[in-house]
Chain A
Amino acid sequence: MITTTTPTTPAAAPPTRPAAQTERQIRRIAFSQRFGRWDVKFSPYLYVSPFFILFGITGLFPLLYTAYVSVHEWNLIGGQGAFVGLDNFTFVLQQQQFWIALRNTFSIFLLSSLPQVALALVIAAMLDRNLRGKTFWRMGVLLPYIVAPVAVTLIFSNMFGDQYGLVNNMLSRIGLDPIGWHSQVLPSHLAIATMVNFRWTGYTALIFLAAMQAVPRDYYEASMLDGAGRVRQFFSITIPQLRPTVIFVVITSTIGGLQIFDEPRLYDQTGQGGASSQWMTITIYLYNLGWGQLNFGRAAAVAWLLFLIIVVIGLINLAVTRSIAGSGSRARS
């Protein structure tokens, strides 16, 4: 290991050899320290950078670039054309189809979010009881979540068939007139909302259940001593305590719900949202403009309009959340 090239006296050798060794060691420490400092300083940025770079390229940039496309003439085949200012927007806003799509989107959204929240609250309250086989029930209500929206739609569009559907079949058995689940406006919205509710109610109920378990049990015990029944407890303790959670669920479902596409697209064979656009939503309108009429400029204008609508509704929700959360904590203290 130690090679002595120069003949040294045994007495002189010990001092020189350790000296060389320590020098080497010092240099190594200095390097590793410098590397270590560099490592500590830049590693965090290195670790978060993949997310920011990839999100920037595939998420943020396309969204912003949509604004650029929307002020140009732009076709699927011809590519980018002339700058046209806000022409695409004025065109879209003058189309009756756009306003019908807006109406349908909001109608379906309301029909799917309000009953869903109400039903999920009740289910969660039941699941919060001291059940036998907790896991079984919880998994049971979650089952529809793993069925793809496409599959859900195919099942329900069959069950809600105008002529031979199960629902109309049952209705006529109990002596009611069949309903035009596809041909009429409101029934078609109801059918589509049912698909959304089928898939998400159990999921939402589990979110509420988690929030319910965080409610201090003292509240219930105190109210029980005051003679409150279960129903009274549900409305006077559980619901107020869950208000922030409810609003959070509504906000997240707004973002997804206003972009609804799968269910209305596959509700019939043509995918156009009905013969007279009974259930055509904004995203279907966007798709038809872009990939049906091959007009990307106008499709981008619709995308940007929908984005603005979602932002505005999100901000309104946020303001509501803030004020309710504020008053809630004041009442509690």
Chain B
Amino acid sequence: MTTPTLTPPAADPRPGRDGSADAARSTPRRRRRGTAVDRPGFLVYGFLGAVLLGAVFPLYWSFLIGSGDASTITRQDIVWWPGGNFIANALEVIDNPSVNFWKAVGNSLLVSTVVAASVVLFSTLAGYAFAKLRFAGRNGLLIFVIATMAVPTQLGVVPLFIAMSKIGLAGTLSAVILPAIVSAFGVFWMTQYLKQALPYELIEAARVDGASMIRTFWHVALPASRPAAAMLGLFVFITTWTNFFWPFIVLDRQNPTLPVALSLLQSNYFVDYSVVLAGVILSTIPLLILFLLAGRQLVSGIMQGAVKG
């Protein structure tokens, strides 16, 4: 399972740096490659431009339809400029009583934040122990963690649903949060990071000064793990925010997360795509803002060894 993509994030003490930091840090050899002669030509930019267009176009199309009216979609000539109905369509989504838009936004925000915070906390705790503390059975347990990364836990939905119904949590946000509060990938990620980012000398210094184990964790390990913890939190937040299968099964229509509410837009009525796609844009805005603020961190997080899922 340990493949080159699973290399731990670099122990860069400057958290603000993006993926290009490694280029800046690299050897003169890499620098030499970047002489003016080696600048890529028009073809490369043209190709990447086309890829970028492909990445943006569906969102633009969604806005195009979402700002038109019900007749826009059936017109034979394609309208390439947005109409003026986006606000009206968006309001129709927000005011739709069966969608519970604001409730869904609040729920998604709550669930994603709680899950991200707990995954980061538990992963850092366990990662610190695996990376820096000696105890019997450490290697065996770590191998177990790595093996569970490949287990499709989503397939346990049937008993999970039965259990949640039995203890009365079906339909509540707790039912969405509980199965997600730990992550094997998170533990592995923090272990790999702390192995190289946290020198033993620091821990020993704290211990010699008389700090207890938990104090050492809190004042030495936790600050050292901040860059990797931030990236982990970011990925968990996005994964939880976009998750559909389990929330769709366990939540009521009156108490949805955003993707569940969005799916109701399509299934509820006769489908007016201008409203549906206005809803799509509306629901994408929060993550779009996050992307603009933290897109660099996302890129370097993936490049430093993110795993799908």
**Residues of chain A at the chain B interface (Cβ within 8 Å):** 35-36, 39-41, 43-45, 47-48, 50-52, 54-55, 58-63, 65-66, 68-69, 74, 122-123, 126-127, 129-132, 134-135, 137-152, 154-156, 158-159, 161, 164, 166, 169, 198, 200, 202-203, 206-207, 209-211, 213-214, 217, 244-245, 247-249, 251-253, 255-256, 258-259, 261-262, 265-266, 269-271, 283, 286-287, 290-291, 296, 299-300, 303-304, 306-307, 310, 314, 321
Contact = CB atoms under 8 A, between A and B. Distances in A.
Contacts of B182: 50-51, 54-55, 58-59
13 contacts: A44-B138, A50-B122, A51-B123, A52-B141, A62-B160, A140-B52, A151-B62, A198-B55, A206-B303, A258-B152, A261-B245, A266-B266, A296-B158
Given A54-B122, A296-B162, A300-B158, A148 B298 contact: no
B40 A129 contact: yes
Given A43-B213, A60-B151, A262 B125 contact: no
Contacts of B241: 148
Interface in B14-36: 18-20, 22-23, 29-30, 33-34
Contacts of B30: 217
Contacts, number: 311
B259 A150 contact: yes
B296 A43 contact: no
A158 B51 CA distance: 21
In the A-B complex, list the 10 residue pairs whose CB atoms are closest, starting with the nearest. A62-B156, A148-B242, A43-B213, A44-B135, A210-B303, A65-B159, A47-B129, A129-B40, A63-B156, A248-B3
B58 A65 contact: no
B133 A43 contact: yes
B179 A58 contact: yes
Contacts of B299: 135, 138-139, 142, 206
A255 B152 contact: yes
Nearest to B287: A146
B263 A39 contact: no
A154 B58 contact: no
A143 B53 CA distance: 11
A202 B126 contact: no
Q: How large is the interface on B (under 10, 10 to 19, 20 to 34, 35 or more residues)?
A: 35 or more
Interface stretch (B70-78, B83-91, B95-103, B223-231): B70-78
Nearest to B166: A79
Contacts of B265: 154
Which of A50, A55, A132, A200 has the most chain B CB atoms inside 10 A of its CB?
A: A55
B304 interface: yes
Given A48-B141, A54-B182, A252-B309, A154 B129 contact: no
Interface string B89-124: 000000000000000000000000000000000110
Interface in B256-283: 258-259, 262-263, 265-267, 271, 273, 276-277, 279-280, 283
A68 B265 CA distance: 37
A166 B262 CA distance: 22
Contact of B262 (A123, A127, A151, A296): A151
Given A44-B135, A155-B58, A210-B304, A126 B245 contact: no
B52 A150 contact: no
A304 B62 CA distance: 38
B153 A63 contact: yes
Interface of B: 3-7, 18-20, 22-23, 29-30, 33-34, 38-40, 44-45, 47-48, 51-52, 54-56, 58-59, 61-62, 65, 73-74, 76, 78, 122-123, 125-126, 128-130, 133-135, 138, 141, 145, 148, 150-163, 178-182, 184, 187, 212-214, 217, 238, 241-242, 244-245, 248-249, 258-259, 262-263, 265-267, 271, 273, 276-277, 279-280, 283-284, 287-288, 290-291, 295-296, 298-299, 302-309
A178 B40 CA distance: 39
A154 B266 contact: yes
A271 B303 contact: no
A39 B213 contact: yes
Contacts of A249: 5, 308
Nearest to A59: B153
Contact of B273 (A45, A147, A158, A251): A158
Contacts of A258: 152
Given A141-B51, A244-B4, A255-B152, A166 B61 contact: yes
Contacts of B157: 62, 286, 290, 303
B51 to A, nearest CB: 6
Which of B3, B76, B153, B296 has the most chain A CB atoms inside 10 A of its CB?
A: B3
A61 B125 CA distance: 23
Nearest to B258: A148
A301 to B, nearest CB: 10
Contact of A69 (B65, B73, B162, B279): B162
Contacts of A283: 245
B181 to A, nearest CB: 6
B51 A314 contact: no
A209 B187 CA distance: 24
Given A50-B125, A66-B159, A137 B52 contact: yes
A179 to B, nearest CB: 17
B309 A48 contact: no
A85 B303 CA distance: 48
A210 B5 contact: yes
A300 B159 contact: yes
B296 A139 contact: yes
Contacts of B48: 123, 126-127, 131, 137, 140-141
